[in-house]
Structure 1
Amino acid sequence: MTPAPRRTASRTPARSAIPQVSWRAPQPAPIVLVSGPEEVCAERATAGIRDFLRAEDASLEVSDLRADDYAPGTLLAMTSPSLFGEPRLVRVGGVEKCSDAFLLEAIAYLDSPQDGATVVLRHTGASVRGKKLLDAIRAGTGGGIEIACPAVKRDSDRFDFAAGEFQAAQRRIAPAALRSLVGAFTDDLTELAAACQQLIADVPGDITEQIVERYYGGRVETTAFTVADTAIAGRYGDALVALRHALTSGADPVPLVAAIASKLRTMARVAGSREPAAALAARLGMKDWQVDRARRDLSGWNETSLGMAIQAAARADAEVKGASRDAVFAVERLVTVIATRAPYGH
């Protein structure tokens, strides 16, 4: 069953007096502030508003303008009622780089939004430009709403994002399949979103780990976490093959070591605890599946071998960051120590 995603996308900004709406369930308002750096979520939110309005009235007029390349009077012209009174959607990009002319007119527009018009303002948060406008919207001027699109950076956030894709489509994906899919697209949320949608569109039944392997096996094989998983499981030969595939595909030794060290640290945090997974996860700030996975990873390990592996990871981390001339050898030695659970050369 697809795990339920955390509701991080609709986190309420400080001192905001307007409704906060999830980018997965957008709705129109006279003013819609789409804030935050995650473009995938912002694009979904804007498209969702367009689809919502178009479903209500197929004659919807859609216009786009740039706040950083703005001709005075454009906003009012685009939002003013047409001869036949069709609803209007105006999508404004580049608000974080807006011109003085746009800023003045947008703030004035908040005092008297046009009937039948929806204005979507996209601000990435890359600068404080337009802060006066954002503060006015968040104070409630103009009757707006905010759709927050915070950056998706952590592995747990990517997992939640992917889980939400399948949950929104009312599709089932096995937890192991979801982990493999997320592991295959660690660097690009746009590609992860596209992969989720491809599986949803192409696969009629439940999505298994074998299906993910068939679609994205080439990528899965070369991820840092696959190297870490096979080494931690004691599959020495498979770990070296995965490492070679990763390096051949252009993987950098630094994130490879970081992925291995991250899994080892998680194992160390979980080791020795008999608490239920949910309670331990809550105490450690983790998710239930992370605790369950770490406990499975600990099979065959003891305090001595885990401590040795963590020390080897610390040494490899220093070496791949400049303490050694041969970063590839440093990673190979780390994988050997972990997979054999013995000092290098023994």
Structure 2
Amino acid sequence: MDVSPAPVVLVSGPEEFFADRASQRIRDLLREAHAELEVHDIDAASYGAGELFTIASPSLFAEPRLIRVSGVEKSSDAFIEDAKRYVSEFAEDTTLVLRHTSGQRGKGLLDLVRKTPGAIEVPCPELKKDQERLTFAQGELRRLGAQATPGAVRMLAAAYASGSVSELAGACAQLVSDSGTQITEESVNRATEGRVEASGFKVADAAIAGKQSDALVLLRQAILSGTPAIPILAALNMKLRGMARVFGAYGSSAQLAKQFGMAPWMVDRAMKDIRGWQEADLARAIDLAAETELKLKGGSRDPDYAMERFVSFVARRGRERG
């Protein structure tokens, strides 16, 4: 994360992993420049009037200060009033870091920080989309000095699709530690063996490739080993959504990637996967996925059969038997 110290730093958004990393980065940079750095922590919810100014006032030896404020979204009235005064005329050799997760509380203070010269904001958004987690995994591996094939990154992100961002970051670090800086699908497969989502993508890869027998065998093995069917269905859905985006589209991988919010290699993969599909059959596959999800969640007496039927439908690219 590219963050630099500033007199006032607003760390906004719900993702605590990014917020913690930003705060740590600021502290490390300040401590590199000033070994005598003083660090103070304030809870904005229980803040008492004047506390901020007491901490920020110059000491006898004028040591630089880092003041970290948590819970700005739950600020006391006293903190909001004092923080607005402080931001309007901040102290020298002091860095104030304000952590605000979400909500309208403290909005006036946030707006003031955002228009104050010299202050900066570090957004920490939640990663909700598959592409966002893929992009994060790619960046994390690059940060660690590793090179990974597109398929390896996709497998890694899929293996931790339901985990936290910190878990995915930890997996990247562990993978590089165990496998070195050249990351392949095989090294990810070894590292993620047993992950529910990784099993799901094995089934999805086989089904999308038209290997019906292999896909069904992998599906049965996953179910027998205790893997829930819902994550397997989610893996197939992820592929089908990508295929639907690029169906009938024209242009270079870079152009389509920008248009659809996908990585260029994902566009190439979806274009390859879509070969042999008819538009009506792809639409039916997406509809059948929704029907299958209902059956898996209690709408059928035999959910395993419903999942097998869906996997077979995808592997046959929507065609009937024979």
Tell me, yes or no, whether TM beats 0.5. yes
Equivalent residue number for residue 140 of structure 1: 116
Q: Report the CA distance shift for 1:62/1:295 in structure 2 as closer, same or farther (over 3 A).
A: same
1:304, distance to aligned residue in structure 2 (A): 6.7
Q: Deviations over 1:207-253 (max 9, x none)?
A: 11121122222226645433322221233344335435655677654
Match of 1:113 among 87, 90, 108: 90
Measure how far apart 1:343 and its partner are: 6.5
Within the candidate set 156, 159, 167, 1:181 is matched to 156
Q: Which residue of 1 aligns with 2:71?
A: 94
Counterpart in the other structure of 2:54: 77
Range with bigger deviation, 215-224 or 168-177? 215-224
C-alpha contact (below 8 Å) 1:35/1:124 kept by paired residues: yes
Distance 1:186 1:106 in 2: 39
Query: Would the aligned equivalents of 1:222 and 1:249 in 2 still touch at CA under 8 Å?
Result: no
Distance change >3 Å, CA 332–CA 110, structure 1 → 2: same
Distance 1:214 1:306 in 2: 32
The TM-score with structure 1 as length reference comes to 0.82
- Relative to the length of structure 2, the TM-score reads 0.87
Q: What SS does structure 2 have at the residue aligned with 1:85? A: coil
Structure 1 vs Structure 2 CA RMSD: 2.8
Instruction: State the partner residue of 1:162.
Output: 137
Partner of 2:191: 215
Sort the Cα spacing of 1:197 and 1:133 in 2 relative to 1 into closer, same or farther, 3 A. same
Cα–Cα, structure 1 residues 338 and 74, in superposed 2: closer, same or farther, change >3 Å?
same
For structure 2, the 5+ residue unaligned runs are: none
Q: How far apart are 1:342 and its partner, in Å?
A: 6.2
**Any idea what SS the aligned residue of 1:37 has?**
coil
> Counterpart of 2:148 in 1: which secondary structure?
coil
- Give the deviation of 1:255 after TM superposition: 5.0
Matched letter for residue 50 of structure 2: G
| CA distance in 2 between partners of 1:104 and 1:250 (Å) | 55
Q: Secondary structure at the match of 1:218?
A: coil
Preserved CA contact (<8 Å) 2:200 2:232: yes
Seen in structure 2, the aligned counterparts of structure 1 residues 66 and 272 have a Cα distance that, compared at 3 Å, is same
- Tell me the distance in 1 between the aligned counterparts of 2:2 and 2:245: 36
Q: How does 1:1-346 map to 2 (within 5 A)?
A: 24-125=1-102, 127-140=103-116, 143-187=118-162, 188-219=164-195, 222-244=198-220, 247=223, 253-254=229-230, 256-273=232-249, 275-299=251-275, 301-302=277-278, 306=282, 308-320=284-296, 323-341=299-317
Identify if the C-alpha distance between structure 1 residues 34 and 26 changes in structure 2 by more than 3 Å, giving closer, same or farther: same
Q: Following the alignment from structure 1 to structure 2, what is the Cα–Cα distance between the partners of residues 139 and 131?
A: 13
Q: Is the 8 A contact 1:230 1:239 kept in 2?
A: yes
Higher mean Cα deviation, 214-223 or 157-166? 214-223
Take 1:176 and 1:293, find their aligned partners in 2: how far apart are those partners?
Answer: 9
Corresponding residue SS for 1:179: helix
Deviation of the 1:319 alpha carbon: 3.1
Deviation at 1:37, TM superposition (A): 0.9
Structure 2 contact 155–201 (Cα < 8 Å) conserved: no
From the superposition, tell whether residues 42 and 241 of structure 1 become closer, same or farther in structure 2 (CA, over 3 Å): farther
Question: Which consecutive residues of structure 1, in runs of 5 or more, have no partner in the other structure?
Answer: 1-23
Deviation at 1:204, TM superposition (A): 3.3
Deviation digits for residues 111-167 of structure 1 (CA, Å, limit 9, x no counterpart): 332211111000011x211111111111217x3111111111101001111111122
Q: Deviation per CA, 1:82-130, whole angstroms, max 9, x where unpaired?
A: 32221111111111111112112211211332211111000011x2111
1 or 2 for the larger relative contact order (CA 8 Å, sep ≥6)? 1
Identity %: 48
Structure 1 CA distance for aligned equivalents of residues 89 and 160 of structure 2? 45
Counterpart code for 2:265: W
**Does the CA contact (< 8 Å) of 2:144 and 2:173 recur in 1?**
no
Distance in 1 (CA, whole Å) between partners of 2:48 and 2:97 is 18
Contact 2:158/2:198, CA 8 A, preserved across alignment: no
Greater alpha carbon shift after TM alignment, 265-274 vs 103-112:
265-274
Is the helix fraction higher in 1 or 2? 2
Bigger drift between 107-116 and 307-316 goes to: 307-316
Deviation at 1:318, TM superposition (A): 4.1
Query: In 1, are the aligned partners of 2:11 and 2:124 still within 8 Å (CA)?
Result: yes
Query: Alpha carbons of 1:73 and 1:311: their partners in 2 closer, same or farther (altered >3 Å)?
Result: closer
Q: Structure 1 residues 25 and 282, CA, compared in 2 at 3 Å: closer, same or farther? A: closer
Greater Cα offset, 201-210 or 318-327: 318-327
The alignment partner of 1:296 has SS state of helix
